[in-house]
Amino acid sequence: MKNKKVGRYLLLAGLVVVLIGVGYLNYVLGTAPKDDAAAQAGDVLDSEIEGAMSADDLAVMSGGNYFEDYKANRESYREKEIVYLDSIINGENSDPEMIQDAQEQKIQIVKNMENELTIEGLLVASGFEDAIVTVQTGSVNVVIKAKEITKEQAAKILEIVRQETGESPQNIKIMLQS
């Protein structure tokens, strides 16, 4: 019984380390010069669009069913995360602090899933063929199914994402997948 508890703590610690690693990587890839006045003004500026679409940030990927595959993998991974968190929440050996932490993580996952689904729907409704959105604290990544987009389309994407998440433009990355 004690080994089971230790195993759960190690698994939880491992997931936390992976989450921190992903967050750090996202932070490093998402760092851009900040223009707080523009972010507070609520207007999408050309410099923000160019920042979101710079050569370092703009990735044109290739592949057949990238969007379907990614969404299926994301859903599968999230289901596993939620099952794991539920096992902690409902576990007999879980202490109240672990339960509280697992509940907070589960709530955040659900909020992120809702934001992602809403933004993806709004982008498709705005005329894009398909989109993938990943929302994390401090960053949002958007993958649009297109070979290229105009500055006006990029501004539309930034505005939708900013309205739904409250993230500033320098924390929003737009990538293309053809």
Domains, the chain: 2-177 (1.10.287.4300)
Q: Round to whole Å and give the CA distance between 11 and 7.
A: 6
Nearest to 106 by CA among 132, 88, 119, 123: 88
pLDDT of 155 reads 93
What's the whole-model pTM score? Answer: 0.63
Q: Round to whole Å and give the CA distance between 60 and 69.
A: 17
Low-confidence ranges of the chain (pLDDT < 70): 1-19, 21-64
pLDDT digits (tens, 9 = 90+) for 125-135: 999 999 999 99
pLDDT digits (tens, 9 = 90+) for 31-53: 544 443 333 334 455 555 545 54
